[in-house]
Structure 1
């Protein structure tokens, strides 16, 4: 994976962050099996540019935001990494609720007072994270939407 030609935004604690790039370019650069969700609960919203970060040699984080077209406070950030970035710690944290995904994988959900919610899981050595920033505290509905979005990734 060659990110050397990308514009660097910064480097802190050994993590290099690159300037946002179009999704198509990011998909070409990422060498791991990056799969995108087919379902997005923020219908008619926009996608942000992709931010790539490099933690160590070939440890890459891909981040894309789905933005609501009706509420600027609402967005879903889809993050993948080709390594265990936070998953091991999350699965040990009792504040997360275990959720079964349709592929037999176990995900971990947490709603926050921010209001926001997050869903995390590992599959095939890839860490997946969905972060939903919302304008309401309807965690049951948001959990259902994040699970549906996670299940649409094939």
Structure 2
């Protein structure tokens, strides 16, 4: 499959490379997802620069927020193949790829009223707005 990978830290435009990599495999408690849309977030830029609080081992695939389609379910999971979902793929195998895995417990159904790109942007954007309004602004 094709994926954007980072082999060294720096500005995203300088360090991200489109490469052929092996397909990921869903482990226990995980879902294999075909990425339909991946949102670009500030954490992705910080990850590329090595400035985020989590520093995945190099090389890694950025992409912390996606809308995807369930391709396969790992052991201990119950998900309908073909269902459209929102996910935050765990690093080092993020969502800037054709396929990714995500923990089934953290996957949510994608809202039917949103297209793939809108749905992909919902997860972190919604959380950021909610925390800003409810925990900071009060």
Specify if TM > 0.5.
Answer: no
In the superposition, the TM-score normalised over structure 2's length comes to 0.24
Give the TM-score of the pair, scaled to structure 1: 0.23
- Which protein has the bigger strand share? 1
